[in-house]
Chains A and B, each alone.
Chain A
Amino acid sequence: MTLTAGCDVGSLTAKAVIMRDGRIIGAQVVKSRAKPEISAKEAMAGALTAARVALEDVAACVGTGYGREKIPFVKEVVSEIACHAKGAKWLVSSARTVIDIGGQDCKAMRIDEHGEVIKFITNDKCASGTGRFLDVMARVLGISVDELGRLSAGAKQPVTLASTCTVWAQADVIKYLNSGIAVADIGAGINIAMANRVAILANSVKAEHDVCMTGGVAKNNGVVQTLAQLLGRRITVPRKADPQLAGAIGAAIIAGQL
């Protein structure tokens, strides 16, 4: 009956998960603040409340994400690549390839049957293959990231976007918008540009077998579908829990193995 916790402080959101016997009993996603310790505390407080337990009851907590060094209550910190792999494995047990797209980076990894990473790659060029890209674009379109994901379905003639710089792509979007092109076509173009960048990464680790997608962008159906087309593989989006929680879940699982 041990309780373990994972806390993933990302660039955009902080996530905390409480697990008991391999089940999630509480979770929380909050927006990241300028100070990671505050984000971590907020997320953890929310998760604890949801689980109706106290921090003292938690046997071990593992931290991950960009802010991991600053989380006050963790026993150990682990790289988010390892955590996402473990989390994805728990979410989709057959997963052998994991694509995680978060706020400011995108990772593709191949994992073994224990959820250990065999090969991975992350984008290190520019933000244009990351969740930030979508956030910026959604803002320009005046819609939420949720809606952006749904736009692809209604598109007739998706536009082509300059995709090497987020800020320049933004200029393109404004131009299209102003010239009266349907929002759905622009939205689909955005999702395609994003999927294109991600496909390069996924293909470089040679996406294999069951591909699973985690991180906030997994909730964007337009990106997921386009990516699936580009890769020529079905992509499973976890249903067992919010895919954005994958890192925190992995951390909680690793906490249980300490």
Chain B
Amino acid sequence: MSKAMLEIFYDAAEKVNSAAINAWKAQGKKIVGNTCSYVPAEIFHAAGILPVRLRGIETDNMAVGDTYFGPYICSFPKCILQLAGEGRFAFLDGAVITPGCDAMRRLDECWRKAGEDIPGIVPPFFYYFDVPHKTAPHGLDWFKEEIRRLIQAVEQHFHLSITHEALRASIRQYNQGRRLLKQLEDLRATPEAGITGADAFAVAVAGTVLPREEYNSRLAELLQVLEQNLPAVADGKKRLLTMGSISDDMDLIRLIEGHPKALVVAENLCFGVRYEGPELEENGDPVAAMAQGYLGKSTCPRMYGKYQERLDILKQTIARAKVEGVILQNIRFCDLHGSENSLFQRDLEAMGIPCLKIEREYGPLTEKGRIKMRLDAFLRQL
């Protein structure tokens, strides 16, 4: 596998204005951002719009973010607002905000308010997409209706029509990507692991930004090369899994893998495998398929009362990838992941799988020394 093959993934994963985004805009096409893995990308794909997951990378201060958000709020939405306020999301034709969590939900009004003070930073299509916290039949119905409304709103705003046919085609495209990523995950589960955690994570994060067709073909190429000759990356290293709050941060994985004995072989992050989720039903009503597929995945603690399901998924991943230690990270003020991490720690350690809990800020990785100190001790423990 050559470095060049990974370049496009890294570019998309580590830059706000990535080459892919610039190229797309250069063709005069539209881009809509979203803030959470519960927003069906297929809707935009079917409309010929590039859906990108919004990021908060490359911030160096929080002068805008802290103006609207209060002090006790997760730094992720603050970073997004900061970038918006600096005009760094000028490429967006639209943004979809969800009530992923309270902090994210407040991004809706904070962004609008910032827009009153700093003209031009609110994308023309600014949409609040409701996601219920329930998978019960009434929750599913609600979500279906929300999807229908979103489709309508996109059609109206962008003057186009999104047919069920097109949606089904998009579902197929996205499913293909999901299968490919699954394949990558399977490779990482082999004794050789084949790819470093940082590289694999770059591939996963890039999936939230790159045009799907391109992504699928690049990923297929990568997989082909890997499968022909699987590098023995694992090489006696400890196999780790990372999970928890929002993280699209390559630096964190690099820091972990900077330790000579550490390799990240799996993750359960909402910029990674959780974003992709399970494959959707390709036939039948595409709206129902999206509702079922997106809401049905209960891998995020915002779906209350489903801890046991999440634990089961985690256990399966751990067994499959032969994970020896789990790194549970959360962003400060993220109570959802922060406290669920403690439950995971309790239950995983009871099964003999050591866990390391880290609390940090989103944004440029700091406290490297502190994290390294704990990582060193953790790896000694394994």
Q: Which B368-382 residues have C-beta < 8 A from chain A?
A: 369-370, 372-377, 380-381
Q: Is B226 engaged at the interface, CB distance under 8 Å to the other chain? A: no
List the B side residues contacting A56 at CB < 8 Å. none
- In the assembled complex, the CB of B275 is this many whole angstroms from the nearest CB of chain A, namely 27
Q: Is A125 engaged at the interface, CB distance under 8 Å to the other chain? A: yes
Task: Name which of A78, A122, A124 has the most chain B CB atoms within 10 A of its CB.
Answer: A124
Counting residue pairs across A and B whose Cβ atoms lie within 8 Å, the total is 40
Contact B359 A81 (CB under 8 A): no
List the A side residues contacting B349 at CB < 8 Å. 119
Contact A117 B374 (CB under 8 A): no
Contact A122 B370 (CB under 8 A): yes
Contact A118 B381 (CB under 8 A): yes
Produce 1/0 per residue, A21-50, CB < 8 A to B.
000000000000000000000000000000
Contact A80 B359 (CB under 8 A): no
Given A124-B359, A125-B359, decide whether A117 and B369 contact each other with a Cβ distance below 8 A. Answer: no
Contact A80 B373 (CB under 8 A): yes
Contact A105 B377 (CB under 8 A): no
Q: Is B367 engaged at the interface, CB distance under 8 Å to the other chain? A: yes
Contact B381 A122 (CB under 8 A): no
Complex Cα distance, B381 from A81, in Å, reads: 11
Q: Is A137 engaged at the interface, CB distance under 8 Å to the other chain? A: no
Q: Which A105-156 residues have C-beta < 8 A from chain B?
A: 105, 116-122, 124-125
Q: Which A61-120 residues have C-beta < 8 A from chain B?
A: 66, 78-82, 105, 116-120
Option from A81, A116, A125 in Cβ contact (under 8 Å) with B374: A81
- In the assembled complex, the CB of B377 is this many whole angstroms from the nearest CB of chain A, namely 4
Complex Cα distance, B359 from A93, in Å, reads: 32
Q: Is B16 engaged at the interface, CB distance under 8 Å to the other chain? A: no
Contact B370 A124 (CB under 8 A): yes
Contact B370 A81 (CB under 8 A): no
Given A122-B370, A124-B370, decide whether A79 and B380 contact each other with a Cβ distance below 8 A. Answer: yes
List the B side residues contacting A116 at CB < 8 Å. 380-381
Complex Cα distance, B352 from A119, in Å, reads: 12
Option from A79, A124, A125 in Cβ contact (under 8 Å) with B376: A79
Size category of the B interface is: 10 to 19
Contact B377 A124 (CB under 8 A): no
Contact B360 A124 (CB under 8 A): yes
- In the assembled complex, the CB of A184 is this many whole angstroms from the nearest CB of chain B, namely 34
Q: Which B290-336 residues have C-beta < 8 A from chain A?
A: 332
- In the assembled complex, the CB of B328 is this many whole angstroms from the nearest CB of chain A, namely 12
Q: Which B339-382 residues have C-beta < 8 A from chain A?
A: 349, 357-360, 367, 369-370, 372-377, 380-381
List the A side residues contacting B381 at CB < 8 Å. 116-118, 120
Contact A78 B370 (CB under 8 A): no
Task: Name which of B357, B367, B375, B380 has the most chain A CB atoms within 10 A of its CB.
Answer: B380
Task: Name which of B332, B360, B375, B377 has the most chain A CB atoms within 10 A of its CB.
Answer: B377
Given A66-B369, A105-B370, A124-B370, decide whether A117 and B359 contact each other with a Cβ distance below 8 A. Answer: no
List the B side residues contacting A79 at CB < 8 Å. 372-377, 380
- In the assembled complex, the CB of A112 is this many whole angstroms from the nearest CB of chain B, namely 10
Closest 9 CB pairs of A and B: A79-B376, A81-B377, A79-B377, A124-B359, A79-B373, A82-B380, A82-B377, A117-B381, A66-B369
Interchain Cβ contacts under 8 Å between A and B, 30 examples: A66-B369, A66-B373, A79-B373, A79-B374, A79-B375, A79-B377, A79-B380, A80-B373, A81-B373, A81-B374, A81-B377, A82-B377, A82-B380, A105-B370, A116-B380, A116-B381, A117-B377, A117-B380, A118-B381, A119-B349, A120-B377, A120-B381, A122-B373, A122-B374, A124-B358, A124-B359, A124-B367, A124-B370, A125-B332, A125-B359
